Amino acid sequence: HARLPESRYEPLLKSDMQCWRCDTDLKTVPKLKEHLQTHFDRDIARMKKKRKHEIDLTGDDEDEAGTSDRPPAAKMTKRPDGKSE
């Protein structure tokens, strides 16, 4: 295994980290994680708001995949003799 000279990686360890979404410079990993969490929380809130808006428009709480926040309802089926089960 070839070793990477310290002179190549040391400057990287001492430099600030940068948010990949908004280019904010952060000095520590905990600060970066905290910052990224704010992006994540905003995205989740935005998705929930969009989802609520879609439900309000359609009156349907099923997403594109056909899943629902509610447990599945029992389905009425007809037997071959025409009576419902």
Taking only the tens place, the pLDDT of each residue in 25-65 is 999 999 999 999 999 999 999 999 998 888 888 876 654 55
Distance CA 37, CA 54 (A): 25
Distance CA 8, CA 10 (A): 6
pTM over 0.75: no
pLDDT at 82 over 80: no
Token code pair at residue 83: 């009576």
In this prediction, residue 43 carries a pLDDT of 95
Single-letter amino acid, residue 52:
K
Distance CA 85, CA 82 (A): 9
In this prediction, residue 76 carries a pLDDT of 56
Distance CA 68, CA 61 (A): 6
In this prediction, residue 1 carries a pLDDT of 74
In this prediction, residue 18 carries a pLDDT of 95
